[in-house]
């Protein structure tokens, strides 16, 4: 029932992708659990050395014989070149590319090696450009998402991207269960990518304080902030982050803003759980589940939702 074009492109059973979770350990366990359940697990490359990356790929292969992907967050040309070399040498066949420096010709570089490439896009403009560069599909990600975000919400973004490109569109940002999957399919997407929901699983290497923050947070508790990477990243809010925003709005000097930002970054390193990266869907997460169960449950519940919708649409 949920076999879409995305399943054919990626060689997977269900159109569910686990978005890369940079900076979170346990990538192979999580990716393999999702792939074994019929979705597509994706490893992050952010902050990993070549050796670590090769080890993560090998470990994932030891845990699953199903397809999985690797993510390049295009920080700069040197990083892209280094990770692309590992991808090609290790025979990785599916790559998602995160937001980053849009001038990096990541898609063309990977397509030269026959790799299936799915870039994350925050706007229609970006999606059209990625299609022109040869992307196999795009992942349209709304501002509700965890991680780096643009400004457009998923609900208006996804159908507009679907209308603008002829390649398949995957929906991301604010999807946490079967309702989000069915809604995304209704908007014209052929699959979904979830990040925040997979962070709160047994297999994810998120620390206990991070998982606790996710279970406690409500839908109002996240905010985008540029202080970690120079571009907006959505994280669970904290009094210090709010103070930084107040200072910025009040016209504080760049040195004052940087002093507080550097204190916040240090605080995050010292106490994992503070300023956890997460999306607005966080308020819906009330328990830690196994990643495989999550995939199975999404498909079962989506089937029931479709049956209900069908009966609504049937002859009255």
Ligand X SMILES: Cc1cc2nc3c(=O)[nH]c(=O)nc-3n(C[C@H](O)[C@H](O)[C@H](O)COP(=O)(O)O)c2cc1C
Among 236, 278, 285, 302, binds ligand X (CB under 6 A): 278
Smallest separation, CB 14 to ligand X (Å): 16
Instruction: Give, for 143, the enclosing helix (H) or strand (E).
Output: none
d(CA 94, CA 247): 43
Smallest separation, CB 307 to ligand X (Å): 25
Contacting range for ligand X; rule: CB under 6 A; set: 51-59, 141-149, 224-232, 290-298:
141-149
Say whether residue 162 binds ligand X (CB under 6 A): no
Among 166, 119, 117, 163, smallest CA distance to 141 is for 119
d(CA 130, CA 123): 11
Say whether residue 120 binds ligand X (CB under 6 A): yes
What are the tokens at 234? 């959505």
Check if the beta carbon of residue 198 is closer than 8 Å to that of residue 291: yes
Contacting range for ligand X; rule: CB under 6 A; set: 3-11, 20-28, 61-69, 299-307:
20-28
Check if the beta carbon of residue 287 is closer than 8 Å to that of residue 202: no
Q: Pairing mode, if any, of strands 116-121 and 138-141?
A: parallel
- Choose between 244 and 276: whose C-beta lies nearer to ligand X: 276
Contacts of 172 (CB under 8 A, 6+ apart): 19, 120, 139, 140, 141, 142, 145, 154, 192, 193, 194, 195
Check if the beta carbon of residue 126 is closer than 8 Å to that of residue 74: no
> One symbol per residue from 142 to 161: x for binding ligand X (CB under 6 A), - otherwise; what is it?
--xxxx--------------
d(CA 12, CA 253): 51
- Choose between 165 and 206: whose C-beta lies nearer to ligand X: 206
Contacting range for ligand X; rule: CB under 6 A; set: 52-60, 173-181, 242-250, 292-300:
173-181
Q: How many residues does the chain have?
A: 316
Say whether residue 80 binds ligand X (CB under 6 A): no
- Choose between 53 and 256: whose C-beta lies nearer to ligand X: 53
Task: Report which residue's Cβ sits closest to ligand X.
Answer: 195
Smallest separation, CB 222 to ligand X (Å): 9
d(CA 211, CA 226): 23
Q: What angle do CA 191, 64, 95 make, to 5 degrees?
A: 45
Say whether residue 227 binds ligand X (CB under 6 A): no
Among 281, 285, 291, 302, binds ligand X (CB under 6 A): 281
Among 10, 12, 20, 63, binds ligand X (CB under 6 A): 20
Alpha-helical (H) ranges within the chain are 5-10, 27-36, 50-63, 77-90, 106-111, 124-133, 154-164, 178-186, 196-199, 208-216, 239-249, 254-270, 291-313
Q: Pairing mode, if any, of strands 16-18 and 192-194?
A: parallel
Smallest separation, CB 21 to ligand X (Å): 4
What are the tokens at 239? 């009094």
Contacting range for ligand X; rule: CB under 6 A; set: 74-82, 166-174, 236-244, 259-267:
166-174
Among 6, 172, 181, 190, binds ligand X (CB under 6 A): 172
> One symbol per residue from 42 to 61: x for binding ligand X (CB under 6 A), - otherwise; what is it?
--x-x---------------
Contacting range for ligand X; rule: CB under 6 A; set: 61-69, 140-148, 182-190, 241-249:
140-148
Interacting residues with ligand X (CB under 6 A): 19-22, 24, 44, 46, 71, 73, 98, 120, 141, 144-147, 172-175, 193-197, 199, 277-279, 281
């Amino acid at each position: 029932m949920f076999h879409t074009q995305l399943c054919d492109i990626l060689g997977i059973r269900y159109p569910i992708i686990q978005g890369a979770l940079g900076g979170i350990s346990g990538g192979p366990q999580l990716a393999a659990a999702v792939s074994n359940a019929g979705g597509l697990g994706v490893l992050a490359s952010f902050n990993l050395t070549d050796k670590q990356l090769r080890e993560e790929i090998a470990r994932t292969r030891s845990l699953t014989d199903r397809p999985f992907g690797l993510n390049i967050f295009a920080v700069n040309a040197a990083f892209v070149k280094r990770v692309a070399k590992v991808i090609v040498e290790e025979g990785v066949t599916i790559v998602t590319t995160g937001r980053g420096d849009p001038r990096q010709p990541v898609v063309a570089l990977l397509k030269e090696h026959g790799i299936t490439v799915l870039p994350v896009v925050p706007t229609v403009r970006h999606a059209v450009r990625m299609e022109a560069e040869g992307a196999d599909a795009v992942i349209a990600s709304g501002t509700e998402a965890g991680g780096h975000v643009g400004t457009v919400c998923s609900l208006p973004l996804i159908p507009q991207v679907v209308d603008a490109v002829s390649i398949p569109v995957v929906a991301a940002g604010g999807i946490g269960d079967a309702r989000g999957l069915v809604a995304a399919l209704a908007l014209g997407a052929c699959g979904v990518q979830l990040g925040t929901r997979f962070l709160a699983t047994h297999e994810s290497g998120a620390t206990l304080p991070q998982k606790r923050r996710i279970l406690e947070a409500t839908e109002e508790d996240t905010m985008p902030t540029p202080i970690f990477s120079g571009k907006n990243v959505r994280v669970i809010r904290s009094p210090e982050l709010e103070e930084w925003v107040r200072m910025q709005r009040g016209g504080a000097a760049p040195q004052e803003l940087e002093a507080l930002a550097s204190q916040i970054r240090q605080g995050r390193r010292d106490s994992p759980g503070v300023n956890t990266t997460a999306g607005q869907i966080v308020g819906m997460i009330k328990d830690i589940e196994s990643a495989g169960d999550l995939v199975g449950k999404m498909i079962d519940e989506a089937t029931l939702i479709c049956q209900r919708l069908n009966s609504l649409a049937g002859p009255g």
